[in-house]
Structure 1
Amino acid sequence: MKKNVFVFSRLDSEYVLRLEDNFNVTQLDPQGDIDAQYAAALPEAHGLLGVGRPMGRAQLAQAGRLEVISTISVGYDNYDLDYLNERGILLTNTPDVLTETTADLGFALLISAARRIAELDAWVKAGNWQATLGPAQFGCDVHGKTLGILGLGNIGAAVARRGRFGFGMDVLYHGNSRKPALEQELGARFCGFDELLGEADFVCVVVPLSERTHKLIGRRELALMKPSAILVNVARGPVIDEAALVEALQNRQIQAAGLDVYEQEPLRESPLFALSNVVTLPHAGSATYETRRAMVELALDNLEQALLGGTPRYRVNPRVRGT
């Protein structure tokens, strides 16, 4: 007998057809009654597939048959891991396939903030380019500067490689542990948190969101950075105290910021929008055709393996029963 899968995010028909080879599939209709669809699907679902919806005790109380949630993302802060462990529900995710793409975007933000790409693009389109540029339009160099990485995991290391080998940057990093192999490869130097903030010309935040990293960068930390420093965040929005960052940018306490993530998403209104020294992107780190396709395919692989008796490649909580 086929198991039941509830797809709670938009999925192309080719992937739905693939799932239907092995499972009874129900797909969320975003135009319908969302709550009613969840109420109908969850009690029978053995597997869930999607991204972006918080799931914990309150949301999954009626999901008595649930075995696995396959999230189409790397991050899993939307999921109550303690509750999933308590229930013996496996959570899988999609790391690695978006490493290089997210690093591309992180470095694009860094360059855009340094060379004022978005600001000058808008300035030219507004008809302001009437003569040779003067100091009011100057940016700052990227090559040869010091790049500080907070969280030298896969994405952080990929950003560091771009800086080191593409732009001749010195690399500093801080994290939970030292990475000797990466130190040798990148000539990177492990240093204290405050030391990195004080020395780096560019601070790139690539840490997972947790209780420990919530508002990791606030007023105190921004005050430690150079007035010429640029802050880049491709991690999670709540890692930075957004009100403190707005204040620092308004007062030119730091030079600029490049942001892809925010405390509240989607970001429809924000004092950030009034600032010329910040680049704001719509959580686009993995938003390429190739990467999103690879993420969906990996999420499907994880789901199929979990429900058909195999071992999923990426398990967030591998010790739950049945795995």
Structure 2
Amino acid sequence: MGSISKPILLQLGEQIIHNPKIYERLNESFIIIQPRVEERERASFMQALQKKHWGDFQGMFRPSMDSGGEMGLWDDELVSLLPESMKIFASAGAGFEWVDTERLAKARILYCNGGNSASEAVAEMAMFHILSTFRNLNWSQAGARSNSPEEWLNTHKSVSKSAHNLHGHVLGIIGLGNIGYRIAKKAYLGFGMRIHYYDTIRKSAEQESSIEATYASTLEDLLAEADCVVLATPFGGRKMINGEVLAEFKRGARFVNIARGALVDEEALIQAVLSGHISAIGLDVFENEPVMNQGLFGLQNATLTCHNAGGTVETFVEFERLSMENVEQYLLQGQALTPVNLHLLKGSG
């Protein structure tokens, strides 16, 4: 009898770094093909799919966000070229706006992301930005780096006059999911902040009581109470924070975004800061990143980071692990660890 060949997987991106033992295990059950960088460019990649250059592969995994995305948006144009044998695509990263998960579901392909791998890192970064907006840390750092004794002394005296302790202030969180809850817990337990939140689904009484959280039934109710608003909700296809919404903030409130830049109208936000309606902002994500809105640079009370909230070694280890184990578990045992579009897959017949 002829031997049964192992299923084929495409590895999108560079070498495995953090989880070599899992990769060895994957190699025992699958044939892993790793397209070269030039083969991953969109035109070349599509041509290879059309010619079935890699055969009838059953899955793809992308272990790192630093590579493997050279082909760009996974839209109908790309998904339609995948072989009928394809069953799962697992990728590093929590966000998946670059993947049409509905189109994948129509093709009977499960998409898995990096789950909550980055939650702790993002929550930590959120706390940095919250601290910065209350304590004028961007302003203080600029003074320390000015190389001017006069500017140093002026900053030393001026910063403190509008800085505040976090303790006792209301932190308003938009989206109390895994990340939002971790932010709330750190702010409540570590800094004595009062937690208010707005979410489409109210959390359990047990979860609320653990952080003494107050639920706001409308966004307007939350904004009326919050001394600092943190945006921690997935992108829903529209801007959530625009000029009209910003007008609902308490005068002098602070704003932090560690979610998605596309959720915020940056021009409106800049105007709200310039007018004094918003006293300080902390942004890790931007509307048109990596192209920055030039208006942000002139704001003394704007703390800006390069979409690094989730960027820690611990996050990368988990992203890599999940990309491989999702494929392994689904193809060998029929159950993935962090499915995103399973509900759509079940409903597609």
Check whether TM > 0.5: yes
Pairing of 1:38-77 with structure 2 (within 5 A): 38-39=45-46, 41-42=48-49, 43=52, 44=55, 45-50=57-62, 51=65, 53-64=72-83, 65-77=85-97
Give the one of 201, 206, 212 matched to 2:232: 206
Is the 8 Å Cα contact of residues 46 and 78 (structure 2) preserved in structure 1? no
Query: How far 1:18 sits from its partner (Å)?
Result: 5.4
Is the 8 Å Cα contact of residues 111 and 339 (structure 2) preserved in structure 1? yes
Pairing of 1:241-256 with structure 2 (within 5 A): 241-256=265-280
Query: How far 1:197 sits from its partner (Å)?
Result: 0.8
1:9 aligns with 2:24: no
1:195 aligns with 2:221: yes
1:228 aligns with 2:252: yes
Q: Percent identity?
A: 28
Which residue does the alignment assign to 2:240?
216
Q: 1:220-252: per-residue Cα shift (whole Å, max 9, x none)?
A: 111111232111111111111122112212322
Which residue does the alignment assign to 1:279?
303
Partner Cα separation in structure 1 for residue 105 and residue 290 of structure 2:
30
Which residue does the alignment assign to 1:258?
282
Partner Cα separation in structure 1 for residue 146 and residue 322 of structure 2:
44
Is the 8 Å Cα contact of residues 4 and 46 (structure 1) preserved in structure 2? yes
Is the 8 Å Cα contact of residues 242 and 269 (structure 2) preserved in structure 1? yes
Query: How far 1:48 sits from its partner (Å)?
Result: 2.0
Query: How far 1:26 sits from its partner (Å)?
Result: 3.3
Relative distance call for 1:142 and 1:157 in structure 2 (3 A) is same
Partner Cα separation in structure 2 for residue 31 and residue 250 of structure 1:
46
1:21 aligns with 2:28: yes
Per the alignment, in what secondary structure is the counterpart of residue 278 of structure 2?
A: coil
Is the 8 Å Cα contact of residues 57 and 83 (structure 1) preserved in structure 2? yes
Partner Cα separation in structure 2 for residue 56 and residue 36 of structure 1:
14
Relative distance call for 1:274 and 1:23 in structure 2 (3 A) is farther
Which residue does the alignment assign to 1:121?
141
Relative distance call for 1:318 and 1:33 in structure 2 (3 A) is closer
Query: How far 1:178 sits from its partner (Å)?
Result: 1.3
Is the 8 Å Cα contact of residues 198 and 225 (structure 1) preserved in structure 2? yes
Is the 8 Å Cα contact of residues 329 and 335 (structure 2) preserved in structure 1? yes
Query: How far 1:76 sits from its partner (Å)?
Result: 1.9
Partner Cα separation in structure 2 for residue 11 and residue 152 of structure 1:
35
RMSD in angstroms over aligned alpha carbons? Answer: 2.4
- How many residues align? The count is 321
Give the aligned residue type for 2:208: E
Relative distance call for 1:49 and 1:220 in structure 2 (3 A) is same
Which residue does the alignment assign to 1:86?
106
Structure 1 residues not aligned, in runs of 5+: none
Structure 2 residues not aligned, in runs of 5+: none
Q: 1:130-166: per-residue Cα shift (whole Å, max 9, x none)?
A: 4372235642322221000100111101100111111
Q: 1:237-285: per-residue Cα shift (whole Å, max 9, x none)?
A: 1111122112212322201111111222223553222322211111112
1:306 aligns with 2:325: no
Partner Cα separation in structure 1 for residue 195 and residue 87 of structure 2:
43
Pairing of 1:103-114 with structure 2 (within 5 A): 103-114=123-134
1:35 aligns with 2:54: no
- Higher RCO (CA-CA < 8 Å; seq separation 6+): 2
Query: How far 1:41 sits from its partner (Å)?
Result: 4.9
Give the aligned residue type for 2:28: D
Structure 1 stretch displaced more, 310-319 or 6-15: 6-15
Relative distance call for 1:23 and 1:36 in structure 2 (3 A) is farther
Partner Cα separation in structure 1 for residue 12 and residue 107 of structure 2:
20
Query: How far 1:200 sits from its partner (Å)?
Result: 0.4
1:98 aligns with 2:118: yes
Query: How far 1:36 sits from its partner (Å)?
Result: 4.5
Is the 8 Å Cα contact of residues 23 and 324 (structure 2) preserved in structure 1? no
Structure 1 stretch displaced more, 8-17 or 269-278: 8-17
Query: How far 1:288 sits from its partner (Å)?
Result: 0.6
Which residue does the alignment assign to 1:161?
185
